[in-house]
Structure 1
Amino acid sequence: MGEAAMVSPTWTLLDLAGTVALLLWGVHMVQTGIQRAFGPGLRGLLGRALGNRVAAFFSGLGVTAVLQSSTATGLMVAGFAASGLVETVPALAVMLGANVGTTLIVQALSFDVSGVSSVAILVGVILFRRGTLGRTRDIGRFAIGLGLMLLALHQLLDLVTPYEDQPSLRMMLGAIATEPVLDVLVAAGLTWAAHSSVAVVLLVMSLAARGAVPPHAAYALVLGANLGSAINPVLEGAPGDDPALRRVPVGNLINRCIGVFAALLALEWIGPWLVTVEPDAARAVADFHTGFNLLLAAVFLPVLGPYARLLARLLPQRAETDDPYRVRYLDHSALAAPPAALAASAREALRMADVLEAMLAGTAASLAQPDRLRIAETRRMGEGVRRMGGAIRAYLAGIEPDAADEADERRLQQVLAFVGNLEAAADVLRHNVMTPSARRLKQGITLSVATRAEMAEVIRRLTEGLRLAAGILMSQDARLARQMVAEKDAFRALEQDATTDRLAALRGQREDASEGARLDLLREFARVHACLVAAAAYPALEDAGELLPSRLRAES
């Protein structure tokens, strides 16, 4: 880079932005590697240690020290609290421990360990490329990310050094160096956008090490990073209109706001004292970060009981509504571990199948003995199936693509196919079966005894097919899938027989509304069965390599 480029503000910003991006990507790879390799086990460990506040504090500290993401830990514990598996006090204790846990890697990287960056990347690439087990590849991802973090920090130090006396950098950093409140807001915004307080604190530490920002500004930026890390769990926690679901993330945000406010008031005295205790600017930033979180934990841990009661008054639990279509198993804290999230979505999809089975039962009852209230209730079930399907799709969209491996992606597509086709089957029943049934009831048209008996038998077979589809979703058994596909011939034969009978009735001029309704119903029920086959049987056969790409005969 020439002298003109070196003094250019544009090149300064581009160099800084690229190096910071490399640091963020390294942190991201470290977090995703650990979450994919050990996420479910760490989540189980966290769940078992929520008996009391002390154990919860240290479990939060340990899990976050491994995951390097207080946001991930916060989402886990918020999911536990939203599901009623943990009380507010131990959940808040976990968050205090998680905040301390994020400081440990900052402490480690405050020493000069940049020399191991190349070794970490080399080991990571070998594990990632040569590893045959998923966990080995994930550990390789972690090692690559760690190496990139160290490399980015080293480059950041080298980058800042030539620009220490450049007006462009001094002007850019000087704008925030004199206003502690502005420092806090800027760092909080960066942390919220980056989803990583670790990356922001490491950036501040690097700038402070070269004197690009004075100590008091660096400490204020660290306070902002701590504040910003508490924002994401509030925004990304378990959805719902019950304020009680927000107690843990909101409580964590409030105590950090209190801590940041108190620290800002004392910053005029803390800053000079810390500089005399620790002359190394980078180490001073790391020590301030750790000390702030330790002091916050020491203050709030003994008073979590009254604090939890205050949160209960501020965010009271909303009275439960009897909504059978409200999702139950979509734990948003599991999104960090794709296998756990996919298992939760499959469990919710089975509930969706239960609602569709109840809808089939309501359809059978409505055809056997038409009733306006029963028809309306059956149609409402169809709306419920669609609501549940939409919730499952939105949940699955929260899984980050780079956190899922190839097997996870296949399972994701299987669950989406199951959900989408169950929605389609419910729509057929709702619009093409129940709506004409309501019309026939209004017109006084009744089905013949033989037609009602035939429809009852068809719906029984559809119910068996739905149960078979649910079993295939969980087992991916190709033998069951072939059995289900073979049943399509039976439904096709029923529809052809009904078409022949109706044509004969038309030729004999004895066609009636009941005979026309029989063919329409069989046609719609065949469509329902086709949706069930596409929901589970076809994906299982495709995964087993037993599905032809086309039914068309190849051209000679």
Structure 2
Amino acid sequence: MSINDIENLFLFIGGLGMFLFGMHSMSDGIQKSTGSKMRELLGILTNNRFMAVIVGALITAIIQSSGATTVMVVGFVNAGIMTLGQAIGVIMGANIGTCITSWIVSLGQLGDTFKAVSPSLYAPLLVGVGAFFIMFAKKAKKKTAGEIIIGLGLLFIGLDFMKNSAADYTELPIFTNAFALFGSNPFLGIAIGALVTGIMQSSSASVGILQTLAATGGVVTTASAVYISLGSNIGSCFTALLSSLGAPRNAKRAAVMHLSFNVIGAVIFGIAMYFLFRLRPTFADGSIGSVGISIFHTIFNIICTILIFPFADKLVSLSGVFVKSHDDDSVSSEDEEVVTLRHLDDRILETPSFAVENAILEVVHMGRTTHENLQRAFNAVLNYDQQAVDKVYETEKTINSMEKMITEYLVKISNLSLNEDQHNIINDLFYSVSDIERVGDHTENIAELIDRNRAGGEIVFSDDAREELKEIMDLVDNSFSYAMSAREKESIDDANQVVKYEDMVDNMEEELRETHIERLSKQLCKPTNGVVFLDIISNLERISDHAYNLAGYVMSEQ
């Protein structure tokens, strides 16, 4: 091996590295720029399967990896955010979305005829402009734009490096014979495509390399490109399959659906193209360019989706045949702690924007659980029930566990690549979890006041005291309910309602304290009962304070 061969090897490896890093940097920047748009995409998934296909294509076009999209889908299914029926639509769309990278690669292979408009000509300029934005721009949005621009530039430079390093070798007999063999043997061509994609964990990358070789001088035949492209679609399933190992049944079924869809599509197209090539051998043995591969890759994925879409439910059922059910798969008896742990699936971290939205959902879930416990404690105050009090204690332990799990998940998200707005939301969620946990503590305090004093004798509030307690508890209940609604919907109107209720609770707490002290001085109620009354309204006022904090975080994000 000569020094020139070593130089070309290093050039190819470096080009591949820049190509992959460019894809990553570009998709990372696009995800940051989309930000809250991901929430809208997530909402669309609950509508219908056709929209799920579109969303799947959009998400994959952003993150440029159908495998990563499917891994995320596996996480959503495991978390209970998405059903298998919705997941199959996203999986179908993911295969269409992955074609965007092949078209970007094609732009870089326009050739000398279109040199003036070839992205390769402007790639160094893009890197320079992107670096300038990242280094000197003060606004986060401009820095994000810099990431996208520099990623795009590196992608095209990497493609040029690979093309130039491979140009001297593509005319060698070993290359010609290899692609002739892949073209004449469909099974071998598909296997090579699947293997390379499985190793690289990206069909976009493997197809991009194939396109680069195709652009170096006609070494890639049409038949070999077709079969290798079909194999790359199958290979893109390996990431999700590996991710589903050890996951619950539905998560495994989502990964199997992805594999089934791609295998069925590859078989249908493989057979059709095999007979076409037998009828037109000159077409099969003819060379294909980068644009030709993009056209086939796109047509294949769109037609497969159209053909299989009507049988999507059958595909869901087929996954159940391959992944058998077990008794321990039932989630009907899961408590809130187990449900929360299942929802905080690390696979969702594959896409930071969705991870942020998932974290919001889980904080709201914790808030709803705390709200139910608060109402349980209120009922125990007005109508003593030992079982209700015991349930308050039990649920408070769950809330503490939820706080720990969600906080750990938020730490993981905070280490992801987030834009400034997302960082602010995650910081607010840290505080929100703490405030909700404190509401849980005050709820437990109220239950303990009733329970502890009940043991020393029955606590009987006067009719006036009971009415006063009910009135202030209703205000606190509404305040916390609006606070969680504001967090869930990012609603300023709901947050403003919390502010109004907070003022009402503060004023009423002062009035009730004064009137109750007056009742105590006139000996209209027992001193023990009076102390319990004052302690209860004190805890209620603090719960309202925490609701006010929760609303304030939402306001600060607008």
Structure 2 length-normalised TM: 0.64
**1:126-137 correspondence runs (5 A):** none
Moved more, 432-441 or 404-413: 432-441
Alignment partner, residue 418 of structure 1: 432
Alignment match, 1:449: 461
8 Å CA contact 1:123–1:140 kept in 2: the answer is yes
1:374 Cα deviation from its structure 2 partner = 1.0
2:157 match: 151
Q: 1:134 to 1:478 in 2, by over 3 A?
A: farther
- Equivalent pair of 2:373/2:392 in contact (CA under 8 Å): yes
Aligned to 2:103: 104
Deviation at 1:146, TM superposition (A): 1.4
Q: Deviations over 1:164-208 (max 9, x none)?
A: 99xxxx9xx9xxx9x97985565344443xxx4223332454467
Q: Secondary structure at the match of 2:439?
A: helix
Partner of residue 370, structure 2 = 356
Q: Select between 122-131 and 90-99 the one with higher mean Cα deviation.
A: 122-131
1:321 aligns to what? 332
Q: 1:27 touches 1:146 (CA, 8 Å); kept in 2?
A: yes
Deviations 1:318-370 (A, max 9, x none): 87738795579999999788677656654654454343233222223324444
Which residue identity does 1:278 align to in structure 2? S
> Superposition pairs for residues 274-293 of structure 1, below 5 Å?
276-278=285-287, 293=301
Q: Is the 8 A contact 1:77 1:94 kept in 2?
A: no
Do the aligned residues in 2 keep the contact of 1:22 with 1:149 (CA within 8 Å)? Answer: yes
Shift of 1:419: 2.3
**Cα contact 1:201–1:225 (8 A) shared by 2:** yes
Give, in whole Å, the separation in 2 of the partners of 1:289 and 1:182. Answer: 17
Cα deviations by residue, 1:518-556 (Å, 9 ceiling, x for unpaired): 78767766765665455454x479879xxxxxxxxxxxx
Residues of 1 paired with 2:480 and 2:213: CA distance? 61
Shift of residue 470, structure 1, vs aligned partner: 4.0
2:252 is the counterpart of 1:252: no
The answer for unaligned runs of 5 or more in structure 2 is 112-117, 183-187
Counterpart AA for 2:26: V
State the alpha-carbon separation in 1 of the partners of residues 498 and 87 from structure 2: 46
Shift of 1:377: 2.3
* Amino acid across the alignment from 2:426: L
Task: Check conservation: 1:481, 1:540, Cα contact below 8 A.
Answer: no
**Cα distance, 1:266–1:84 mapped onto 2, change above 3 Å:** closer
Instruction: Report the counterpart of residue 549 of structure 1 in structure 2.
Output: none
Aligned equivalent of 2:24, options 11, 23, 28: 28
Structure 1 residue 278: deviation in Å?
A: 0.8
Distance 1:148 1:330 in 2: 34
Partner letter of residue 425 of structure 2? R
Does 2:233 align with 1:226? yes
AA in 1 matched with 2:431: A
Q: CA deviation at 1:27?
A: 0.6
In structure 2, give the amino acid aligned to 1:411. Answer: I
Mapped to 1, the partners of 2:355 and 2:529 lie a distance apart of 48
Shift in Å at residue 145 of structure 1?
1.8
CA 241–134 in structure 1, closer or farther in 2 if over 3 Å, else same? same
**Distance in 2 between residues matched to 1:132 and 1:490, nearest whole Å:** 48
Q: Structure 1-normalised TM-score?
A: 0.64
Unaligned runs of 5+ in 1: 505-510, 545-556
- Report how far residue 263 of structure 1 moved: 9.0
Please state how far the C-alpha of 1:149 moved relative to its aligned partner. Answer: 0.1
Assess, with a 3 A threshold, how the Cα gap between structure 1 residues 330 and 361 changes in structure 2: closer, same or farther: same
Which of 370, 380, 383 is the matching residue for 1:366? 380
Q: How does 1:372-383 map to 2 (within 5 A)?
A: 372-383=386-397
SS in 2 for 1:421: helix
Aligned partners of 1:106 and 1:202 also within 8 Å = yes
Of 181, 205, 208 in structure 2, the residue corresponding to residue 202 of structure 1 is 208
Q: Does the 8 Å contact 2:453/2:459 carry over to 1?
A: no
**Conservation of the 8 A alpha-carbon contact between 1:30 and 1:145:** yes
How far is the alpha carbon of 1:303 from its aligned partner? 5.2
Q: Can you list the C-alpha shifts for 1:250-286, whole angstroms capped at 9, x where unaligned?
A: 3121232456689999999989977731166x67866
Identity of aligned residues (%): 19
How many correspondences in the alignment? 511
Deviation at 1:373, TM superposition (A): 1.1
